[in-house]
Structures are given as C-alpha cells and as structure tokens.
Structure 1
C-alpha cells in the first residue's frame, strides 16, 4: 500500500478513536450520574449512601416514656443535610416530626405507605422518601426520611458494594466491545483506503485514456457510476474534437481549392488582356465579366470567413431596429427571385398577418434567410420548391422554412450547423463555403432565438426558427 494510503488509514483510525473516546466519556458521565447523588452540602456520593443513612438513622431515635425522640446529633445532621423526618406508629399515625415537607401526611394508609415505599413520593417529586423500621418494648415503629433530591430507587442496588460481580461483567463486556470496535475500525480503515486507492488509480487512467469502466456495488457504486459517466463524456468530447478537426482540415482543403478556382481564370484572363493586343472589344468585355464574376465569388468566400469569426467572437455589429418582419421576409424572397440564377424557382409565402412589428437587424437577418432558402435550392433539384411560413403568439415569433427537396439522413442533419460541414446530397458541385448554415444559426442566436432542423431523406427538410426574445407589438 502506498504512503498516502497509510496516511488515509491512520487519519480514519484517529478520527474513529477520538469519536470512541468521546462516546466513552459521555457514557461514563451518564453511568456515574445514574449511581450518584448530590448531598445538601453540595458533595457527591454514591447513591447507596441514602440507604445506609436510612438504615443507620434508627440508632439516633430514642424513647422517653415510650415517646420517640431524636438525639441532638441526629437533629444537627438532619439540618445540615436538609432532610425531613416523620416517626409513625403501627397504625401509620404521626408521633414525631422534624422539618418534614409540607405535603407530608399525618396519617398514612397501607396503600399510601406502599406507594411511598416503592416510588419514594406521593405528590411532590422534588423529594425522595425512604422508610425504616425499629421496635421498642415489642412495639413496631416506622420512620420516614425525606431527602431533598430526586433519585430513582431502582439504582439504589446497583453500586460498587452490592454489585461487585455485575461490575466485573460490565468491565469485561466494555473491554471486549472496545477491542472489537478497535479491530473493526482498523479493518474498515484499510477497506476504505483500498477503495480510495482504486478510485485514485481509476481517475489517473482517465487522462491517459486507459480507463476501463467498472460497475461496482456497495458504498462506492455511485462514485464509479459518476466516473464512468465522466469518462463517457470525455470519450464523446474526444470524438467530437477529432471529427471537428477532420472537418476543419477538409474545409481548409476545400476553401483553398475554392480560392484557387476563381484566381486561376482571373490571372489567366488578366494576362491575356495585358499581353495580347489583338483582343477584340467583345472578347475584352467577356473576359472582364468572367474576372468580375470570380472576384465576386472570392469576396463572398472572404466575407463568409470574416462573418464566421465575428459571430464566434461576439464582435459582429448588431444594429436592431423596429420594422415589419412580414414585409421584410417578402422583400427577401423577391430579392432572391430577382437573381437570374433563381428567377425560375418557386418560393411560397404564408402568413396570417400583414404586419408584425418587431426589433431585428435587417442586414443580418436577410443574410440568414437567404442562406437557408438558397441552401435548399443548391442541395435540391430543379423542381425543389421552398415554403416560408410566419406564425405569431403572444410572446414569440415562429418562422418555418421548408422544402420538398432531397432531404437528409440523420447523420447529415446532426452535422448540418457545423462550421466546416458541406452537404453531400447533391448532384452538382457544391461551390459554397460550408459556412452558410453555421452563419444563419449564429445570426439567429444573436437575435436571442433558436433554430432547429428536421429532415426525411427523399421528402425534404424543415427549419424552424423561434425568436422568443424579440418584442412583438
């Protein structure tokens, strides 16, 4: 076992022994309190002193003309101990008393006498009565001593003098119990240390990815289950990092290729225009248009990269203003359809409201919805149609963008908003940057909203945008 294991076991053992010592001290105090009483002068004595005092007091009672009296010594002793006295005849009637309590009777029945003998009190529990007997000239007398404290009579017979054998048994039992507790404490300490050592080894294996999930029972079951769950999350995070790194490398390769693609014709046609003087005006115009088209594509790639960085770092300019979002969405659709590339496409628009005034950044939000709609056309086919629905509630705005295109598998849907992911379910070459949907998601989240996607392969895809944070008038 390692040194740390021994230290742990030692600490557990020390705590255990200290706890046992405290319990032993408290038990001893409780045990002592049961078998001790405090006298009137404040001193503490073993409780059988009461019985001895009662038994010996008979010698202090004298008879003069058959009338009971007590000696001066007895009177002084009763005063010092604040003990009351009654002397009774055979019929239970009082013959003599000295500083008796106020609740004491002058005549006792047999039942009262038995109750007083067994319990030590009749009404007032602040005193405890003990009864003694003596005889004079063949006549039986009884005397009652009232001690000024409460005491359980059952403990009168459990003392060092009358319970010597019991004390021996008690000491043997206590010693045996103490030894068993110490041994069990040591075994428990080593058991705890062993399990903690295993837990420590398991935790050390996690960073090295060599941990094997363990399913334990008993006191440490929950800890092992938590470690298993933690390791599973770490494995998933590792897998996600690997996948993200793979997609990033793939994206870098694709973006590098996409940047080279427009640069090649730009350079080629620029060299022709600068070196070949026989180029006609029509050819010069056509070459210039090709160069401009590729420049625009390059600018789009760079803008997507810049916008992605701004969204990720929270540095994107966000300038919301109040406007009619229904009109805004209609204008966005018209702007897409006015593009020659998509002028023959069909986009349906459905809204039960002609006007919904809310706060949004029109420039950013137009970019988001254009990315969603154009993405459906790029990854669909020539017959793909897009439907845009607007729904309103008291506290939220829901915009649904759906298409009847090719749809996606669950694996593709799970990766759809990844910054480096490009859809593959298309027959044509995808010239996008792979950032369109990630940008759309970032813009919607900047507005305080959420976006979710559902898709069925062969039936189409649906995006649901919820904007709960937008104030709707």
Structure 2
C-alpha cells in the first residue's frame, strides 16, 4: 500500500505539470491565432514579399537617352498588385509615372519621401515602398504604392528598459497564473486522495469513543487500512461483549461469595453473643460444641481468604514455586486417602490406580496437592453419592498424566469452555459446594505455572474426565 500511495502522489504531480504545460501551449496558439486575425497574414509573409517585389521591380524600368519607360510585364504586375509607380530624379522631381493617383505629388522633398515611406499617404491612401534604379551615369529613385488594405506598415519605437520591465511583469503574471492553476488542480487531486483519510480518521474517533459498530468497504489505495479497521472494530466488539459478560459473572460471583461469607460470620457472631450473655449458663459440653462450630466456620473463612490470595498471586504471576523432587504417585495416593478419611466424604466411592509405583518429578508439592484436591472435590460436590470417581497417575514419555474421572451428571457443552474461568460456578453445584468458586481457576493456574496444561472432556449424564499433564523436565521462568 505504501508504494501505491507514493505512486499515486507522484502521478498527481506529473499530471499537474503536464496539464499546466498543455494549457500554456493552448494559450500561445490562441494568442497567435488572434494576432493573425487582427493583422492578417500579410503582416509577416506578404510584407517580406512586397519588399522583394519592389526591389526586383527595377528590372522592369527602362532608362534611355530619350527618357524613362516601363516594360509591359511591369505594367501587368502593377495592375495585378493594385499598385502605381513614380520615378524620381535626384532632386525629387517626378520623371515618370504609371497609374498614379490624382492627388499624388509631382515633387518630393527628402522629408516627404520619409513621411511617405513611414506612413500611409493621406492623399493617395496608399502604402508606399521605395526602390532604386541605376542608370549609366545616374541613379533614380522610384516609389511603388499599393491601395491594398491587407498590406500595411507599422513603425515601432521602444525603450529597452520598458521592454525589460514588461517581460519581467509578463513572466510574473505567467508564473502567478500557472501557480494558481496548479494549486486548483492539486486541490482537486488531493481532495480525491485525502477523502478516504477523513473517513479513516472519523472511524478511529468512533472507536476511541467506544462506538465499535464501524465498517468500511475495503477498496481503493487504502484497502488494507479499511480492512484492518474493520477487523479492529470486530475485535473490539467481541472484547466489549466478553468484558460485559465477565463483569456480570464477577457481580454474580461477588454476590455468591458474599453470601457464603455472611453465613459463617452470622454463626460465629451468634454463638459468640450467646456465650457472652451473662443470662445464659452453658455447660462445658455446650461450650465445646459452640467453640467447635466457631472454629469450623473460622477455618472455612480462612480457606476462602487463602483462595482469594492464591488466585491473585497466580494470576499476577507473583507465585514462586518451591519445587522438590517428589514421588507424584505417592502424593496423589495420599490425597485420595485424606479425602476418604474426611468424615464428610467417607461413604464416597473413590478408586486410585497407577502405571508405576514410583514416578519422581520436580514440583511444588503443596500446590499440586491443592490442584488435584480441587478436582476431586469438584467431582464429589457436583455429583450424587452413588457416583464412582477414578483417580489415576501414569507416565507417558517425558510427561506425567494425572486423571480424575467420574460417571456422574457431566457438564453442558456451553459450560465446558468456562469451567476454568475465574468467578464461574457451574449449574450442577450441589449442597456440599461451598467456598470461593475459584477452585478450578486455581487448579488451571497452578498447572500452567508448572509448564503443564489441563484438559476436560464431558458428556451429559455420562460423566466427566479431567486430565493434568505435567512435564518431567521444566525450568520455571522467574519474574522480577
């Protein structure tokens, strides 16, 4: 596009120069035509021809002792030219005449000859040319006058300084006129070239004011720019829709977590007020029961706060991994055992299997335990008690795979893409589900921090399978 735009500007400049030159040529031709119309063609060609005719006419004049005469050919030529002839001696006296007008002079002084030559004679209304005829021992002058109006003589007198000023003024006028014409033509071309730029600037302003419904037809020299503006507009529209959806999810999540926090706080506050009231007398067993409830609710609040803190640190990549070489099989097996030892999940059907008894890998054991526990916990709280949960560990090449699979309710297709998003809670949440709602997002970020990835496949009423892939050799990128 850059070369197209440059070429278009260069072509405009060349066209402006060519058009100005052509206009100057047409003006010169027009002036020449007007001059020819005013002065006639004899001004240049015929004038020269008349002078030659007068000078050569001396051959038609005969000088003899008996006097001066003229040949028949000379007479015919004079008649053809509508001219007359006078031959003068050295004193200006007319010695011979042919077809001379009645008012013509018979004797000419030197001043009369000059006036007759320079100007049209008022008496004869003729343009007069002067020639010379040489005799044996005498030289004669002769006048040839013509009444042809197309043949006239102009005597010019001029001052070089005035001509110089006139030429300079003419050059300035020509430059000014050509400049004005060039500016007009350049304005027309630039208007045509810059019109799309105004549309582009307006489109960018619309995008800057968050009006993302901008579309232009991709054509012309700015085709690629218009296309990129359209793509940007579409991306901004999609981003705006995604932002609104995320804001809505965030508001819902804040409402849910606020409710989840208010419930244990209400219990803690209620039992604390009861224990503080002097009107009530509690037994040791009751005090211990209330204290246990307060402790349980406090631990729940602590877990929620830790989730929020951990999620923020993982999101901002400020979490430093404390890696150690651990047996990942034993780590996952202990997670399953600890889950079954929890009285809340003691009756759940959770099986563990592995391809090898020992698979050593460098990981942050605490974070990996948290990630796998979240997956098992979600399989429990999102399904009924009869659902079977399979937890497995295997080694494949340079990767370790941890799989958590169940045969429960499954996840809808439109929810699969969002289960790892922050603030998202699925629709299959059971009564046991409590907490921040950040569990799956935390799992995803922990695995990503170890250089791995998480994949999920699910089918409604058939179950869900979530796999974690961890590379055995992975060098952590430290952030300053």
* TM-score over 0.5 for the pair: yes
1:314 aligns to 2:305 (yes or no): no
Aligned partners of 2:322 and 2:364 also within 8 Å: yes
Q: Deviations over 1:141-189 (max 9, x none)?
A: xxxxxxxxxxxxxxxxxxxxxxxxxxxxxxxxxxxxxxxxx99998765
CA pair 266-14 structure 1, distance change in 2 beyond 3 A: same
Unaligned 5+ residue runs, structure 1?
1-8, 22-181
State the SS of the aligned residue for 2:322. coil
Aligned partners of 1:259 and 1:298 also within 8 Å: yes
Unaligned 5+ residue runs, structure 2?
18-182, 476-480
More displaced 10-residue stretch of structure 1: 425-434 or 318-327: 425-434
Q: Deviations over 1:89-136 (max 9, x none)?
A: xxxxxxxxxxxxxxxxxxxxxxxxxxxxxxxxxxxxxxxxxxxxxxxx
Deviation of 1:362 (Å): 0.7
CA pair 272-455 structure 1, distance change in 2 beyond 3 A: same
Aligned partners of 2:387 and 2:407 also within 8 Å: yes
Aligned partners of 1:360 and 1:470 also within 8 Å: no
State the SS of the aligned residue for 1:419. coil
Partner of 1:341: 344
CA pair 464-222 structure 1, distance change in 2 beyond 3 A: farther
CA pair 427-335 structure 1, distance change in 2 beyond 3 A: closer
d(CA) in 1 for partners of 2:451, 2:307? 21
Match of 1:259 among 249, 253, 261: 261
Partner of 1:205: 206
1:238 aligns to 2:260 (yes or no): no
1:17 aligns to 2:20 (yes or no): no
Partner of 1:194: 195
Q: Deviations over 1:294-342 (max 9, x none)?
A: 1111111111111112212222242011111111111111111111111
Deviation of 1:438 (Å): 0.9
Partner of 2:57: none
Matches within 5 A, 1:121-160: none
d(CA) in 2 for partners of 1:310, 1:11? 54
Aligned partners of 1:405 and 1:459 also within 8 Å: yes
Aligned partners of 1:455 and 1:462 also within 8 Å: yes
CA pair 430-323 structure 1, distance change in 2 beyond 3 A: closer
CA pair 183-393 structure 1, distance change in 2 beyond 3 A: farther
d(CA) in 2 for partners of 1:209, 1:443? 36
CA pair 352-430 structure 1, distance change in 2 beyond 3 A: closer
Match of 2:392 among 385, 389, 413: 389
d(CA) in 1 for partners of 2:321, 2:16? 67
Aligned partners of 2:214 and 2:233 also within 8 Å: no
Deviation of 1:262 (Å): 0.7
The structure that has the greater radius of gyration is 2
State the TM-score, normalizing by the size of structure 2. Answer: 0.58
Deviation of 1:199 (Å): 2.1
Partner of 2:249: 247
1:406 aligns to 2:409 (yes or no): yes
Matches within 5 A, 1:50-449: 189-210=190-211, 211-275=213-277, 276-428=279-431, 430-449=433-452
d(CA) in 1 for partners of 2:192, 2:392? 65
d(CA) in 2 for partners of 1:263, 1:322? 40
State the SS of the aligned residue for 2:208. coil
Deviation of 1:437 (Å): 0.7
Aligned partners of 2:350 and 2:389 also within 8 Å: yes
Deviation of 1:434 (Å): 0.7
CA pair 223-457 structure 1, distance change in 2 beyond 3 A: farther
d(CA) in 2 for partners of 1:430, 1:259? 13
Aligned residues between the structures? 306
